[in-house]
Amino acid sequence: MQEFTMKQAELEKVHVEIVKLMAEQRKLNAEAGKMTRETFWYPVAVATGLIGTVATVTTVLVKLL
């Protein structure tokens, strides 16, 4: 009987470790997705800022000249 409970405890320990690893995998996948989105949107934000700056400078120059 003792051997059965030891085996059962060992199986439970392995199961807990599997659950932890799966949770960590989900977390890493979420972080990877976030980084992928940020990698895409950062250049878009920079380009939008540059376009806005050029438009503002152009408008100011046209009004002054």
Residue 1 pLDDT exceeds 80: no
Range of the domain at 64: 1-65
The string of pLDDT tens digits covering residues 4-62 is: 788 899 999 999 999 999 999 999 999 999 999 999 999 999 999 999 999 999 999 99
Split into its structural domains, the chain has a count of: 1
9: left (phi over 0), alpha (psi -120 to 50) or beta: alpha
DSSP assignment string, 1-65: -HHHHHHHHHHHHHHHHHHHHHHHHHHHHHHHHHHHHHHHHHHHHHHHHHHHHHHHHHHHHHHH-
d(CA 62, CA 35): 41
